Amino acid sequence: MRRYLAVLAAGFTVIVSACGGGTTTAAGCTIGVSWNNYQEERWAKWDEPAIKAAITAGQAKYISNDAKSSAETQASNVDNLISQGAKVVIILAQDGTAIKPAVAKSIQNGVPVIAYDRLIEDPKALYITFDNVLVGKLEAEAVFKAKPKGNYAIIKGNKADANADFLRSGMEQVIGAAVKSGDIKIVGETYTDNWDPAKAQTNMEQILTANQNKVDAVLSENDGMAGGVIAALTAQGLAGKVPVSGQDGDKAALNRVALGTQTVDVWKDARLLGKTAGEAALQLCNNSDPSKVKSTAIFKTPGGNSLSSILLTPNPITQANLKEVLDAGWITKADLCQGVPAGKVSACG
């Protein structure tokens, strides 16, 4: 049985590598991935297959383990990957600070590290992510285009998550000048514990109450919270009249974009992130210097480090370009167009 599987796998590898000509190969190199929490849908469904495909296409070997949301477990998991023979380690950090000693040790032992999606403050790591500041900027741009003046509410994510502030700083690039000139007035701005949609809903209700419904636009940092915000707006008959932003490409959120209650959903194709990380890992197998990896740039971190990074460009999805998520196979037409009247949105027909 095992031999049969091995033959099958070898055959599969040949087919895949035959198709993916032109990319770096690193035959025999083992690449280890340390997941922080494999339970979440995204990693298993989109990221892992993409990383795996890129690695097997380069004739390297994929191994992985899961830290189950524990920073301590993740530190020992990284050591385990190295003792299993990993030559490159990709880490989706549970805690970007707590993992630092394990990362430093790994790099000292000649095993380069890729900080996947989340920042690790080590100057020798390679940071691959979607540009979060840019995500915030794109969210604000779409909303600002719809409402260049008026009262804004800002629903931010978890205070302990650096991304909440990255996103907010991107928003500031767009609305900062208008806030200063008085065209935009920020009438409510709150962090939301654990990005919880229900808390976002309550916060939005209170902001609407405190301002007698005089809220003209809402900048929500992600899709889940946008759902809570829109539920609060619906109760006041304001859904669809007040522009709302979001990100992640959640099915429910893309459906809201089609329905017109959410203005923009900034979509980060996890498959692109996975593919980029896999290909970067192959290059690191051959040369462990992160700055030699193709298309890297220097990223200045909030902690004052400069590290090599690849920042991917996210894609803002509005009613005008909904077709892109359909074409990419990210969502089915039935899910995207549920409840959308015929002829209203071109992507739904």
Partner 1 sequence: MGAPVPNEANAEGGSARSLLTAVRSALTPAASVLRSLEIDTRMLGMLAALIVIWVAFNVLSGGTFLSARNLWNLSVQSASIAIMATGMVLIIVSRNIDLSVGSMLGFLGYTMAMFQAVWVPQSLGLGLEQPYTWVVTVVIGIVLGAAIGGLQGFVVAYGGVPSFIVTLGGLLVWRGLLFRYQQGQTIAPLDRTFQMLGGGTVGTNVGALGEWPSWILGAVLCLGIVGTLIASRRRKRRYGFPVRPMWAELLVGAVTCGVVLGTVWVANSYPLPPAVAEQYAQEHGIPTPPGGLFIPTGVAFPVVIMLVVTLVVTFLATRRRFGRYVYAIGGNPDAAALAGINVRRTIMLTFALMGSLAAVSAAVQTARLNAAVTSLGVQNELDVISAAVIGGTSFAGGIGTVPGAILGAVVMQSLRSGMVLLLVDSPTQDIVVGIVLVAAVGLDAVFRRRVS
Q: Choose between 40 and 72: whose C-beta lies nearer to partner 1.
A: 40
Which segment (41-49, 51-59, 80-88, 93-101) binds partner 1 by CB under 8 A? 41-49
Options 42, 145, 292, 333; binder of partner 1; rule CB under 8 A: 42
Residues 133-172 that bind partner 1 (CB under 8 A): 159
Name the token pair of 135: 């995500």
Q: Which of 41, 182, 329, 341 binds partner 1 (CB under 8 A)?
A: 41
Specify whether the CB–CB gap between 265 and 257 falls below 8 A.
Answer: yes
By CB under 8 A, the residues from 301 to 340 that bind partner 1 are: 338-339
Backbone angles phi, psi at 265, to 5 degrees: -130, 105
Find the part of the chain contacting partner 1 (CB under 8 A) among 103-111, 134-142, 164-172, 226-234. 226-234
């701005």: which residue's tokens? 189
Beta strands per DSSP E along 156-221: 184-190, 217-220
Contact 264, 317 (CB under 8 A): yes
**Residue 202 CB, nearest distance to partner 1 (Å)?**
6
Using the rule CB under 8 A, is 206 a contact of partner 1? Answer: yes
Q: Sheet harboring 264-267: ordered strands across?
A: 245-247, 264-267, 315-317
Strand 297-300 versus strand 306-312 pairing type: antiparallel
**C-alpha–C-alpha distance, residues 28 and 25, integer Å:** 9
Among 84, 194, 287, 313, the residue binding partner 1 under the rule CB under 8 A is 194
CB of 281 to partner 1, least distance (A): 25
Q: Tell me: does residue 263 bind partner 1 (CB under 8 A).
A: no
Cβ neighbours around 178 below 10 Å, total: 16
Residue 237 engages partner 1 in binding (rule: CB under 8 A): yes
**Per rule CB under 8 A, is residue 70 in the interface with partner 1?**
no
Smallest gap from Cβ 258 to partner 1, in A, equals: 12
Per the document, the length of the chain is 349
Residue of 227, 243, 274, 316 that binds partner 1 (CB under 8 A): 227
Looking at the Cβ atoms of 13 and 338, the one nearer to partner 1 is 338
Q: From the CB of residue 329, how many other CB atoms can be counted at a distance below 10 Å? A: 8
Helix (H) or strand (E) segment spanning residue 150: strand 150-155
The reply to whether 252 sits near partner 1 by the rule CB under 8 A is: yes
Total residues binding partner 1 (CB under 8 A): 45
283 and 292 Cβ atoms separated by less than 8 Å: yes
Verify binding: residue 22, partner 1, rule CB under 8 A: no
How far apart CA 349 and CA 241 sit, in angstroms, is: 23
Contact between 341 and partner 1 per CB under 8 A: no
Phi, psi of 219 (to 5 degrees): -100, 100
When binding is defined by CB under 8 A, the residue of 96, 112, 157, 188 that contacts partner 1 is: 188
Q: Between residues 10 and 186, which has the closer beta carbon with respect to partner 1?
A: 186
Candidates 63, 60, 5; CA nearest to 28 is: 60
Residue 154 burial (CB < 10 Å; 0-12/13-18/19+)?
buried
276 and 312 Cβ atoms separated by less than 8 Å: yes
Q: What is the DSSP letter of 43?
A: I
Interacting span for partner 1 (CB under 8 A) from 13-21, 205-213, 303-311, 318-326:
205-213
What is the smallest separation between the CB atom of 42 and partner 1, expressed in angstroms? 6
What is the amino acid identity at position 220?
A: S
- Cβ-proximal residues to 256 (8 Å cutoff; 6+ apart), any chain: 226, 227, 230, 262, 265
**Least distance between partner 1 and beta carbon 118 (Å):** 16
Among 197, 246, 290, 316, binds partner 1 (CB under 8 A): 197
Q: Can residue 210 be called a binding residue for partner 1 (CB under 8 A)? A: yes
Residues lying near partner 1 in the complex (CB under 8 A) are found at: 39-42, 44-45, 159, 188-199, 201-203, 205-206, 209-210, 213, 223-224, 227-228, 231, 234-238, 241, 250-253, 255, 338-339
